[in-house]
Structure 1
Amino acid sequence: MNIEQARFNMIEQQIRPWEVLDPQVLDLLFVVKREDFVPAAYRNLAFADMEIPLGEGQVMLAPRVEARLLQELAVRKSDRILEIGTGSGYMAALLAARGEHVVSLEVRPALADAARANLQRAGVANVSVETADGSRGWPQRAPFDVIVVSGAVAEIPQELLKQLRVGGRLAAVVGSAPVMEAQLVTCVADGVFNTVNLFETVVPTLDGAAAKPGFAF
């Protein structure tokens, strides 16, 4: 497989048609090597328009979904970022390339270890992967400028919204299959939030979100 041709095709045939037109985001997809975050068994599918299995029932989201969320968050170099659900570490690497620092929470220890190894090999130094349940966010490092939920939730929990600073943005896919929608929530004042529906999609439920009685997600 011609890796660079496959990367180019992914960007031009999958990502641009999904209204990802920010040149900084598109350039970043050439710089952060997606194939370095894909399990070896699926390396030939690194650029396919699909979710890639990571083990333990978890997946990498499709490239177009990750790219669109990254664009809509409009990450700035001074932003402090929280990611819920590290997975392979790829989204954390993209966020880190645009922001100041990323705290990424992964409840499954084996995935957290793999993500740390992937990020280290890729030379990404401004991501902290914590083995933790992200259901309550990470209040000890709040507030955050950007929060990304890398999995679907039934609704956005108040605990996460409270960890956004004024002007901060949160992206999540909200709903239950087959009806889900990616949303961008902006904190416009203390306790005041503006929500924009971005696009319809269906992605796996955030790990653990469906398993806990009374869970806020």
Structure 2
Amino acid sequence: MWDVLRQDDNGNQVRVARHQTRVSALAQVLTFESGVPHKQMYWVDGPDEPQLATNRDLYLHLLRIGRDARAASWSLSALLRSLWKVGSSLRHEHGLEADQVGALFTAAAGSPPPPFDPAWSAKDLSLAGDPFTQSDWEKVLLSQIADLEDFVTTPARHVDGVAPAPRPEGSGPRATPARWRNFDPAAYLECAVAGTFGGWDVADGSRVPRDGGPSASPERELGEVPWLELSRLLVCGQLFA
């Protein structure tokens, strides 16, 4: 069992909730920390053993979140806006352990998304180099959110499964490729984790191997995930097939 604890302004500690999994406890902390600004502290108390120890664990976790989001009629834009909101509390982290990655997406799928900010469309979201920080990751994410908003007024026109991003006049520079393949949460998250970490198996029902190709990707343990890899996760969600 994992407890979410809170310390108030007077130093008093109280248990807020008890969770069956470490990821769900971490997700609740992210939700609290990304909400209304406060001076209270939240943390998780419980065993340190990771719940998502391998790429296979993370793949199945994100696969389930994507399928649930699609079943609940979430748009990809809404999910990514919620991801931006809960991810804001991680700006001081140099990287995330796999359980934190899983918690980030769990919290996003369980939090109401903020509205689209029109300023994002014209904002300079370009990167000076590789995305090594949380703020760089945020630029990648906001670039995708701005693209998806453009598709609302200019529907996607696919050529060989790929649609060019409209990016109309007045759009600011963006950190992502100007082409899209995946537009719903389930496809986006499955392709994101499969393209970045692997962990898939044809028995999962989401991935068809190429002729003569393997029926599963190798399973491996996951260490700390840097923001560079987390940014790649987003781009793979956009483009991986």
TM-score of the superposed pair, with normalisation by structure 2: 0.23
TM-score of the superposed pair, with normalisation by structure 1: 0.24
Structure with bigger helix share is 2
Q: Which structure has the larger Rg over C-alpha atoms?
A: 2
Structure with bigger strand share is 1
**Larger RCO of the pair (alpha carbons < 8 Å, separation 6+):** 2
